[in-house]
Homo-oligomer: A and B are copies of this chain.
Amino acid sequence: MPDPAKIEIFDNPNPDRHYLITHTATEFTSLCPVTGQPDFGTLTFRYVADKTCIELRSLKLYLQSFRNEGIYYEAVTNRILTDLVGVCAPRWMEVQSQWTVRGGIHTNVTVRHGDDAVVPARL
């Protein structure tokens, strides 16, 4: 069972700047809660760290722990955001999941937390 307590953090080296960190995990897989068939997706994390940053190896292991979990697209995207916010308390965070095609339909889900004003503007 996925356990956010195992996600490690480290000190933000520049907490006086609002800056954007992006991690794209291309090898996410979980199970469909109805059919039990595997789902495959890419997860993109974008965040403005506050006091701590997410350690990558533990993030990878946390994501792998969904391998045999049955969970819906919308639910897993929200749950991962909630878990990560609980662990590193970012100023702002977005999780986007992009799923492989099923029945001719591609699905993406994009969830956010925090104050948009801290995100560097598109320039």
Residue from B38, B78, B107 within 8 A of A29 (CB atoms): B38
Contact assessment for B104 and A21 in the assembled complex, using a CB-CB cutoff below 8 Å: no
Instruction: Report the minimum CB–CB distance from A27 to chain B (whole Å).
Output: 4
Contact assessment for A109 and B20 in the assembled complex, using a CB-CB cutoff below 8 Å: yes
> Is A56 among interface residues, defined by CB-CB distance under 8 A?
yes
Q: Mark A83-123, 1 if CB is under 8 A from B, else 0.
A: 00000000000100000111111111111110010011111
Residue from B56, B109, B122 within 8 A of A19 (CB atoms): B109
> Is A23 among interface residues, defined by CB-CB distance under 8 A?
yes
Enumerate chain B residues within 8 angstroms of A56, measured Cβ to Cβ. 102-103, 105, 107
Residue from B19, B25, B110, B113 within 8 A of A110 (CB atoms): B19
Contact assessment for A105 and B25 in the assembled complex, using a CB-CB cutoff below 8 Å: yes
Contact assessment for B123 and A123 in the assembled complex, using a CB-CB cutoff below 8 Å: no
Contact assessment for A53 and B74 in the assembled complex, using a CB-CB cutoff below 8 Å: yes
> Is A17 among interface residues, defined by CB-CB distance under 8 A?
yes
Report the separation of the CA atoms of residues A21 and B106 in the bound assembly, to the nearest whole angstrom: 11
